[in-house]
A and B are shown apart, each in its own frame.
Chain A
Amino acid sequence: MIVGLAIATPAAASPPQLVVVLNSDEGSLSIVDRQTLKEVDKRSIGREPHHLMLTPDGKDLVIGSTATNELTFLDPVTGETRRRVRNILDPYQLGFSPDGKWFVTAAYRMNHVDIYEAKEFTLVKRLPLHTLPSHMAFTRDNAQVLITMQGSNQLVAIDLATQEVAWTADVGEAPAGLYALPDGKRVLVGLTGEDAVAVVDLAQKRVVKWVVTGKGAHNIFRMPNDETRVLVTNRLDGTISLFDTTKLEVIDTIRAPGGPDDLDFTPDGKQIWVTQRWRRKVMAIDLATKQIVATVNVGRSPHGIYINGPHTVSRSVAPPPEPTEDKTAQTPKASLPDILPKVLAPLFR
């Protein structure tokens, strides 16, 4: 369907304006046409897909299917599936280090963080971390990856050179989204179990300030071309806070009902599209008027969202990589017959 849409578009015209939405509870992705405001395609993507992101070169959109233990690579313009990488255990949250060297996954369900060599997705280190490693951000100097522990209320810093935990700090109830501030010295942490964002000083390794945003403060997104402002989704309050990162204060609040979680910006930066987790919808909000301008039905528990745009078209001029089917990551693993008796035996003793 989507391939058809892309092909049918005249060469000189704009590419299809598509929104990719991951329906985490039904293992599918929805493709929404931003012009017609309709879901134009829905297809299986692997069980429990939660997050997605562009590869550092912008050529691929990577989706982590947590219960299928695999990554799916899509064409970011058309939404076409290109290849899959298997044996990535529970890839809930994904991140490429800014230098492109490391690919890091946070396994929320299985309580660990994996560090892969980013080119071949070879597992370098698996760090068990209790409990519920959730979101991540890289420090501006590329030295550390920061992980929020939604179950144990901590922020964990992992040294990328040694691949060991460098330090841990208590930050507040159910920490989730992270944003490394431009000064390179502090990081914002969304506290879903509170009504605030914590400011953590990386040198002092502790919370130095709390800023109230709204109940269920969750994820943090930088405004396009503006490092001084971020948006914070407040999932319980059903609002989105516009937050000034220089003054560390909320400067505006937008109504966004239905458990706003992830969001993405339209290429012109005028709208945000937000997933409404328990309403099975995505909504478009005009940032100038702060009004919901569209709501589109998608699948169950929509989570990750991505909007294609002209920037991706210019990157897609290069020929897409050759499809590689079911490429298996270089993960050391035991065979099922070896391990099954060990798993089951204690239950039947």
Chain B
Amino acid sequence: MQGLVDIWVDVQSWILETVVHPLLFRFGYMTFFEDAPFVVETLMLGVVQIAVILLVFRPLEQLAPAEQWPDRKLARVDIVYTLLSKLGVLPFVVFIVLYPVNDWLQDLVRDHDLVLPTVEQSLPWLRDKPLLLFATYFLLYDFAGYWLHRMQHAFPWWWALHSLHHSQRQVTCWSDDRNHLLDDLLASVYFAVVALLIGVQPGQYVVLLLLSRLIESLSHANVRFGFGRVVDKVVVDPWFHRTHHARANAAEPHIHDSNFGAVLPIWDLLFGTAVYDYKRRPTGVDTPDADADNGKGWLGQQIAVAGRLARAILATFRPRRLAHPAE
């Protein structure tokens, strides 16, 4: 194991010392010097995730597909999302925008002399149990993620953004990163607040990120198997998440408002949003404007969804038409 860690650290050090540090130094960005190892490691993890998708999840989709499609044309755009996200392009844009927001949050905490309680201080017995402490953070982040997801479905303007993620008729292991840039941005602000409240060690965050993102990629995979009727109550599996991506219809108009959990289904079980009926349903959305995302490229989808967001926001200001007494 130490041998693997040594190779990983050697590769990370090589990238830092030969590429990243000289660039930061040359262009006067040494302020970000301390963050560079974390950024490089996140990119390396992105490469690992892409490798796992290609070498494990894609063969599984070929072997046992949940849905048979004549081709995978619609799924291709999701590969662009995955590459942009996992190779750091979109996270970089989000980081640039988020940087002042994060500063503002930190200043707000400082200006109010607010010393936030930490997990270790609230539960001191966890201090000397790093694995349990990590599990606690994992639980808290997943819980926060569950409620973020609930909000994405609950607010019409947020659903206008998030419906891009759901509009895919060919949900595959590439679909996890199919999000509008603004949706990613809002999620990042949300998790910045969560991080401020509960925090997490950068080192643990890397493991947390890898674990959760791999599970999420697998849960989107077009495969017709799950983890079994016991384990699927512990970890989200492809069956469980495919129900969340099911296309709403007259008989089940809110089927997609279920199974919100990203990694742990316990939150759905606790808050009554879990559906374990193991039915196969087509994926996508039943609204024509969102369904029209299919067939568009990355930029086309980003523009179309921005329009959808604008219309949703305007709709909130439009006075409701009163019903005529004769109606």
Binding site for B on A (CB under 8 A): 23, 25-28, 43-44, 46-48, 67-70, 86-87, 89, 107, 109-112, 126, 128, 132, 150-151, 173-174, 192-193, 215-216, 235-236, 238, 258-259, 277-280, 297, 299-301, 326, 331-334, 336, 339, 342-344, 347
Contacts and interface: CB of A to CB of B under 8 A. Distances in A.
A210 to B, nearest CB: 16
Interface in B105-123: 105-118, 120-121
A192 B108 contact: no
A110 B114 CA distance: 12
Contacts of B202: 25, 48, 300-301
A278 B12 contact: yes
Interface stretch (B73-81, B127-135, B230-238, B286-294): B127-135
A174 B111 CA distance: 25
B16 interface: yes
Contacts of B114: 333-334, 336, 339
Interface in B164-207: 189-190, 193, 199-204
A192 B30 contact: yes
A174 B33 contact: yes
B112 A339 contact: yes
Contacts of A128: 107, 110-111
Contact of B115 (A44, A216, A333, A342): A333
B302 interface: no
Contacts of B68: none
Contacts of A23: 203
A279 B13 contact: yes
B316 interface: no
B197 to A, nearest CB: 8
A216 B25 contact: yes
A83 B103 CA distance: 31
23 contacts: A27-B130, A44-B128, A44-B133, A46-B118, A46-B127, A47-B118, A48-B201, A69-B118, A89-B110, A89-B113, A111-B106, A128-B111, A151-B31, A173-B28, A278-B13, A278-B16, A301-B203, A331-B113, A334-B113, A339-B109, A342-B108, A344-B193, A347-B193
Given A44-B133, A126-B110, A278-B37, A300 B118 contact: no
A48 B193 CA distance: 18
A277 B128 CA distance: 24
A190 to B, nearest CB: 12
A111 B106 CA distance: 8
A334 B112 contact: yes
Give the dominant DSSP class at B's interface: helix
B2 to A, nearest CB: 7
Contacts of A69: 115-116, 118
Contacts of A235: 33
Contacts of B5: 280
Nearest to A23: B203
A43 B127 CA distance: 9
A69 B120 CA distance: 11
B25 A86 contact: no
Interface residues of B, number: 48
A89 B115 contact: yes
- Please give me the 4 A-B residue pairs with the lowest Cβ-Cβ distance, nearest first: A193-B30, A26-B203, A25-B203, A174-B30
A333 B199 CA distance: 19
Given A26-B204, A110-B110, A174-B31, A193 B199 contact: no
A236 B128 CA distance: 35
A301 B193 contact: no
B124 interface: yes
A339 B202 CA distance: 26
A128 B113 CA distance: 11
Contacts of A277: 37
A47 B201 contact: yes
Contacts of B56: none
A83 B31 CA distance: 34
A173 B29 CA distance: 9
A132 B99 CA distance: 14
B140 interface: no
Nearest to A193: B30
Contact of A111 (B13, B21, B107, B133): B107
B89 interface: no
Nearest to B207: A26
B51 interface: no
A110 B109 contact: yes
